[in-house]
Chains A and B, each alone.
Chain A
Amino acid sequence: MTESIALLTIFVLAAFVGVEVISKVSATLHTPLMSGANAIHGVILVGAIIVTGQAESVPVVIVGLLAVVLATVNMVGGFVVTDRMLEMFRGPGGRKKELHK
């Protein structure tokens, strides 16, 4: 039971950290925030690897591998597309610098 309480404590504290951090995100970056947060929940990949690694029968392994593929698409795609968006945000004169290159 103590482990349950420990996990519950982590959950509640993480929720507060999440709200606190995210309420400071600039509105300009709400789309990258959504796709970045999306990428972060792709970490379910860790869970998919764990359960697939413990699977014994073939059908379970197949389901597990499907979960691994889906989670990887979520995680890798999420981080790559967020990077693509953030790369485009430029400061003052960003474009001019580019033109002079």
Chain B
Amino acid sequence: MIGTWAQIGYLVAAVCFILALKALSSPKTARTGNALGAAGAVLAVIITFIAYKPDNLVPILIALLIGTVGGVVGSRRVQMTHMPQLVALFNGVGGGAAALVALMELDHVQDGQTVAAIATAFTVLVGAISFSGSIVTFAKLQELMTTRPITFPGLPVLFVAGLLGGVAVSVWLVSEPRVLVGVLLCLLGLAVGVMLVLPVGGADVPIVISLLNAFTGLTVAAGGYVLGNTLLLVAGTLVGAAGTLLTKLMADAMGRSVFNILFGAVRGGSTLGGGTASDRPVISGSAEDVAILLGYAQRVIIVPGYGLAVAQAQHTLRDLVEELQGRGVKVDYAIHPVAGRMPGHMNVLLAEAQVPYEQLREMDEINGDFKQADVVLVVGANDVVNPAARTTPSAPIYGMPILNADEAQRVIFLKRSMRPGFAGIENELLYDPRTTLLFGDARESLAKLLASVKTV
């Protein structure tokens, strides 16, 4: 048993974590909050060294050093567009660490400690699922493997068998807490994790990251129970709650259930359409035409999508917006909750381009303003402004809340080609007589627009 002072120190660290999350309610306080969270984590580690007086001190310190260097280098180097991959990777290693901790703790679980044994089994199984699932997610996002859903005829059966096997071995582990059984459970968990993520399409992968984040949180909480450590319990539970809530928010923003996202492809109801281009007539314009529309508008709303970030065009877009604002045009960015590759990703990408966060407006907040907008400029987005979500019950995206771009006077799409978005469905808005298309790479198109706006 550790001393009271250590328990109180852990409590302080837990409060730091809660305050860190609370500080995220505003961009003004968020950074200080994060520093406070980090301070809490450092405090917790120092307390652990003093209170538990661990053996193998030197190897542990060396391992800490290696991990720190790895973490710092990884997080300093990553590009903001690659943030989802990094979060997935960090989440996976956390889950893996938790599973290993529980495996090692098996020796200390005695007969009769049923609850502790159940918590241990849970930590091993879910930690392993989180680890392998996150690694597959990382591989998909990093495009080390195909981003399309992967299914094969026996997959649902195998998945269910794996899950049932996991439960059965967990029961075995609870009645007979032996390390070998734990290793078997761990292997089963790894297999289930892979099968869980394989059938998920690239565009839905962010929801899986959020879900696996919740899994790791709960794993850490269960680990806290096993070790009788309140800090792990509180911290893990907080993260479990965060992940669960975010998963739900994001699924709502896509108008689909979490179940449908995970198993849609398995049941054959994949959202991925043919992805073929249509030959219906559209109105395409030159940069000069579009510049005149923008330059003489009073109110412009920008709808940025992931295509903007892929083209690395955020800075050019910001320059264009500043030019328009200089001419007295009122400009806002309308951010759909699933713009980008994870919730809130577009905000980070635009913040990187030094767009002040007040200009970034959430969907619910700005949707009423589209009626008054003279021009809506859609850059690298498609499905989030597709009216089919409202009007066509058979469309895969039906029910997804969208940005009401179709209510504006004029709509401009910057597009590479006529290929539909990831939902693989046609966007009627593209064929609307009020819509003008400007084809080409987003960055080049925006640069041309900027040059043209300066001359009109």
Q: Do A and B bind each other?
A: yes
Instruction: Confirm or deny: B225 has a beta carbon within 8 angstroms of a beta carbon on chain A.
Output: yes
* Residues 92 to 111 of chain B near chain A (Cβ within 8 Å): 93-94, 96-98, 100-101, 103-105, 108
Chain B residues within 8 Å of A91, by CB:
27-28, 356-358
Chain B residues within 8 Å of A64, by CB:
56, 100-101, 104
Asked if A53 contacts B56 (CB within 8 A), the reply is: yes
Number of interface residues of A (CB under 8 A): 81
Bound CA–CA A69/B68 (angstroms): 8
Chain A residues within 8 Å of B210, by CB:
34
Asked if A38 contacts B94 (CB within 8 A), the reply is: yes
Task: Select from chain B the residue with minimum beta-carbon distance to A6.
Answer: B230
Asked if B44 contacts A31 (CB within 8 A), the reply is: no
Chain B residues within 8 Å of A66, by CB:
63, 100
Chain B residues within 8 Å of A83, by CB:
31, 34-35, 38
Task: Select from chain B the residue with minimum beta-carbon distance to A85.
Answer: B348
Partner of B232, one of A3, A28, A32, A46: A46
Bound CA–CA A44/B67 (angstroms): 13
Partner of A36, one of B37, B53, B104: B37
Most-contacted residue by chain A among B44, B45, B64 (CB, 10 A): B64
Give the bracket for the number of chain B residues in contact with chain A.
35 or more
* Residues 25 to 53 of chain A near chain B (Cβ within 8 Å): 25-53
Chain B residues within 8 Å of A70, by CB:
67, 93-94, 96-97, 100
Bound CA–CA A88/B75 (angstroms): 15
Chain A residues within 8 Å of B219, by CB:
41, 44
Asked if A89 contacts B54 (CB within 8 A), the reply is: no
Bound CA–CA A30/B249 (angstroms): 10
Asked if A19 contacts B241 (CB within 8 A), the reply is: yes
Instruction: Confirm or deny: B25 has a beta carbon within 8 angstroms of a beta carbon on chain A.
Output: yes
Bound CA–CA A45/B31 (angstroms): 23
Bound CA–CA A75/B28 (angstroms): 23
Asked if A44 contacts B232 (CB within 8 A), the reply is: yes
Instruction: Confirm or deny: B26 has a beta carbon within 8 angstroms of a beta carbon on chain A.
Output: yes
Chain B residues within 8 Å of A100, by CB:
none
Chain A residues within 8 Å of B83, by CB:
31, 35, 81, 85
A53-B55, A63-B104 in contact; A19/B97 too (CB < 8 A)? no
A41-B236, A85-B83 in contact; A72/B71 too (CB < 8 A)? yes
Bound CA–CA A26/B216 (angstroms): 23
Partner of B245, one of A17, A23, A54: A23
Asked if B60 contacts A52 (CB within 8 A), the reply is: yes
Chain A residues within 8 Å of B67, by CB:
68-73, 75-76
Contact with A along B25-51 (1 / 0, CB 8 A): 111101100110110010011001100
Asked if B64 contacts A47 (CB within 8 A), the reply is: no
With both chains docked as a complex, state the minimum distance between the C-beta of B250 and any C-beta of chain A, in angstroms. Answer: 8
Partner of A53, one of B54, B98, B232: B54
Secondary structure of the A contact surface, majority rule: helix
Asked if B342 contacts A44 (CB within 8 A), the reply is: no
Asked if A46 contacts B90 (CB within 8 A), the reply is: no
Bound CA–CA A75/B240 (angstroms): 16
Asked if B37 contacts A79 (CB within 8 A), the reply is: yes
Instruction: Confirm or deny: B354 has a beta carbon within 8 angstroms of a beta carbon on chain A.
Output: yes
Chain A residues within 8 Å of B345, by CB:
31
Binding-face segment, B14-22, B158-166, B260-268, B366-374: B14-22
Task: Select from chain B the residue with minimum beta-carbon distance to A29.
Answer: B24
Asked if A72 contacts B63 (CB within 8 A), the reply is: yes
Instruction: Confirm or deny: B233 has a beta carbon within 8 angstroms of a beta carbon on chain A.
Output: yes
With both chains docked as a complex, state the minimum distance between the C-beta of A18 and any C-beta of chain B, in angstroms. Answer: 3
Bound CA–CA A7/B229 (angstroms): 9
Contact with A along B226-242 (1 / 0, CB 8 A): 01111111111111111
Asked if B70 contacts A73 (CB within 8 A), the reply is: yes
Bound CA–CA A98/B355 (angstroms): 12
Chain B residues within 8 Å of A36, by CB:
20-21, 24, 34, 37
Chain B residues within 8 Å of A77, by CB:
70-72, 74-75, 86, 90
Bound CA–CA A29/B345 (angstroms): 8
Bound CA–CA A19/B22 (angstroms): 11
Partner of A31, one of B66, B74, B103, B343: B343
24 contacts between A and B (CB under 8 A): A7-B233, A14-B234, A14-B238, A14-B241, A18-B21, A22-B241, A22-B242, A40-B235, A41-B219, A47-B223, A50-B48, A52-B59, A53-B55, A54-B108, A64-B101, A66-B63, A68-B63, A70-B100, A73-B90, A83-B31, A83-B38, A87-B31, A91-B27, A93-B356
Chain A to chain B: the 3 pairs with minimum beta-carbon distance, closest first = A53-B54, A72-B67, A18-B241
- Which residues on B are within 8 Å of A, measured CB to CB? 13, 17-18, 20-22, 24-28, 30-31, 34-35, 37-38, 41, 44-45, 48-49, 52-57, 59-60, 63-64, 66-68, 70-72, 74-76, 78, 80, 83, 86-87, 90-91, 93-94, 96-98, 100-101, 103-105, 108, 115, 209-210, 213, 216-217, 219-221, 223-225, 227-243, 245-246, 249, 335, 337, 340, 342-345, 347-348, 351-352, 354, 356-358, 360, 362
- Which residues on A are within 8 Å of B, measured CB to CB? 3-4, 7, 10-11, 14-15, 17-19, 21-55, 60-61, 63-95, 98
